[in-house]
Structure 1
């Protein structure tokens, strides 16, 4: 009688699951043998010894770490990782020592389970340390548990069965067969390539920023182009590696183009405006700008917006399109010199020649006012109550603020005028109440 060979995905998955169950049942049956039970007991003893060593040496290591204040940050992080994994580290060392001793004094089969336990613990320890390089907590946990699972399957020799089981769980989308194994491969390869691209991008970007021969705006542009190229290459190489046909992306790119035309106009406009800003070098990180009522210095140039930090600590994210279409005052575009004007008035009885000399000297006494470009003072009109003047002076550090330097100059003018008897008039009004008895008793003049 001929045996029916399962052909469907469900039948294949069932056969693989039964095979795994049979292997697991056989493995559990072998644990009942005396030497296997002894090995399990030795492993449990080693775990208890590792726990005791952690309880004894852990606090001492922690106290010693608190005295290492001058160490580099990466060394302190490594010590923290070691402190958190002390139990596993002790178990790995003890298990390998025990395994090597038993290999010498007894038959290899009588230390087989101890070797498996040592290999599993070592793989878990290495994966735990390596995944600490991943900054995102969710991704780090996902990669860590996936690595532990796959390392366990490799050490136990179950990779072929696990691969066949994941490959049998698949769906057909037209001519494309999408299986769990293909998705797992794509995720792992893409994650590795993206991690490598991020590492290369970060290293290269730091070197570009350290190059003083490249302007700040061109540094930002070079870094962003490098990131686009590296991440794009990693994405497409990853898809090609797992066998995804990229010709199907032509239709997807057309759909994306339609979406950009309707729903992403502002996003694309900001992206293009950001590239234009970087190319024409109109603004760069560190420049002091004014846009409407916002005054501050540029902290960073993003792909979609520009970060502007004001004097009061607020950070405004201004879309790139606004910097292209609106009037922007760049206080430090071509040079750092900025001229400021303040207005004041004095009484008609004060000598204007003396007032001008006092005002110029008062402005020159303020530390941030430049002496190389001497302040000037001019009469600009004769008002109702005062002679009006304009005082002009130059500074070269607008990033330190404009309101505070104006306030300091006004304060210096106040002190100088008070010392020399110069009066600052103010409008005076006489208010007369109607039907006042004093007005009716006052004789009428003709």
Structure 2
């Protein structure tokens, strides 16, 4: 195994798998902490998908370190801690505590923090994270239901999460090339700053940074950093580049979208699907609490719809409605209610012949995949930057697209299905 990665949510893990697979590495995704003696076959890269982004920091640390130990025991040459390109976290963690613990586990005395993903318009300039043309703190992420991001200065944000001092390697240094970045890393380490945020504006910057990290035991960042890390092994002749799949064979069966994210992007995708005539039902949190809307009832509605067309089950609310729900039930309680309901619906639909699932939202994806008894995934074609189709390797035979709430174009829910083909279809 060349790269072993620990990802703090399932959609981010899938995004990372896509980056590694596209670079030529044989990549699989493992759901949940693997046992210490897990056999990953001949995979060049293994990405362990955890649900650790929004849990208490000590639990996230324990879960992440156990996953890392399994990857290292399987021979991983380089460890990557993957988190969201928008650095979703609070002042208590979990990025800082997990990174610091993994540094101790691997004996690493210097690492980087590089969440940038320019293809999805997440960039870092002078240590400040931008979402498109907006500072993170001015973007819709300031209203994130679990981890509202109100400070764009990542040096400051990460500094509040860890006991270690945090430095910065700015874009002027990155523009000078790989050796300049390596020299900057050495200078930050010598100055007593064992973690450095690294500016990134373009994919070429990620390649430069990745090359500078070739000998680094532990790297932390978003999926974008994998672009440079994977290319190190390609240059060394350890793997060969291969063309990306244009379509993926999928098991025959019905199709459903389960949208639990309340992001601006997901709400736009829901609106586009409705406008195109897709059959849609919304979760009513108050009705679920009162027991007048149930998972069984939602599943019965789904089964009554046209079997030849995808259907949409949505819990996505606008910020004002979401705030009212959270005030009434609590932030984590309301989110858990949505996740458990959609997970229960997914299980019921799987048992009734649904085999193609498109899931929007990191927390929702984690809950649904667990309910579907999926443990390992093979990576298929890219729908939009950061979002591929996948197919389960063991357990029930399912096609899954796991989308971060903020990812994807407006027509994502409509176009995704064109990349699937039946088992007997010609390519």
Q: Please indicate the TM-score interval, normalised by the length of the shorter structure.
A: under 0.3
Give the alignment's TM-score, normalised by structure 2.
Answer: 0.18
Give the alignment's TM-score, normalised by structure 1.
Answer: 0.18
Greater C-alpha Rg: 1
Bigger helix fraction: 1
Q: More relative contact order in 1 or in 2 (CA 8 Å, sep 6+)?
A: 2
Bigger strand fraction: 2
